[in-house]
Amino acid sequence: MTMEAELREKIATLTRIFAMRGLLGIHGHISAFDAETGRIYMCPGFAWDKATTQPGDLFVFDLKGNILEGQGRRVPIEWPIHTAIHSRRPEVGAIGHLHSPYATAFAAVNQEFRPVLLQGSMFANGVPIFPERHLITTPDLGERVADVVGGGRAALLRNHGTVIAASNPEELLFVSMILEDTARAAVEAAALGQLDFLEPEDMPANEGARLADRAQAAWKYFATLEARWDRQPPIGSVALG
């Protein structure tokens, strides 16, 4: 398989997995970057039926934000998040802009995310928050988001959602799910008392290696679930998407 075919396949699969888990919402989008060709593969934007996305459905952007393929589909208008981070961090192979409901709850109270579970120890140093109330629709805004993400794995966008920067689609999946699930645990536990947040010293020494290993296993697992998903819409008043 060519690199393009592989990235298209993975972004399409990941788009469907995120749709299954309710992490994209109606507004989110994800991308993978081929550093050799400078091409960014990105799922369509607002109100696209992400649960059925196929490799041929993706947009191709260059690093300046020009659309090379995909005309006629709904443009993911916050593409500057992707171009800004892919431009400055060649080690980042995949980026997600998610409206995952629980991580976004921290963004709705304008608090830095801190983990309350060991599974979230990769975030023991916290997750910064982008403080401006704007959709990220211009290169300037994209640069300022990239400044907040810095060399890290994630940022919250105030009153808005999240950005995840990962080595590859497999890590994008796992990091995103850990962030969301750890946020869910915080929201549910907060009713019981003072949250008991991890401290920076709880960051494992070998976090990167552990992540690479677990991300591959988690990818295989969620791809299996996605393959048997009946693609029924959520019932009742769940998060938009």
Establish if 208 lies at the interface with its own copies (CB under 8 A): no
Nearer to its own copies, 36 or 196 (CB): 196
Output 23 or 92, the one with its CB closest to its own copies: 23
Q: Considering the rule CB under 8 A, would residue 49 count as an interface residue with its own copies?
A: yes
Query: Tokens at residue 184, please?
Result: 């869910």
Contact 186, 119 (CB under 8 A): no
Q: Is 176 in the site for its own copies (CB under 8 A)?
A: no
Beta-sheet strands, E only, within the chain: 29-34, 39-42, 59-61, 67-69, 94-98, 129-130, 154-157, 161-166
Give the footprint of its own copies on residues 69-98 (CB under 8 A): 74
Q: In 10 A of CB 215, how many CB atoms?
A: 22
The amino acid present at 126, given as its one-letter code, is G
The one-letter code for the residue type at 90 is: P
Q: Does 27 bind its own copies (CB under 8 A)?
A: yes
Residue number, 56 or 236, with CB nearest to its own copies: 236
Q: Which residue has the tokens 């005309």?
A: 71
CB 122 to its own copies: min, Å? 13
Exactly one of 82, 160, 168, 175 binds its own copies (CB under 8 A); that residue is 160
Query: Is residue 64 a contact point for its own copies (CB under 8 A)?
Result: no
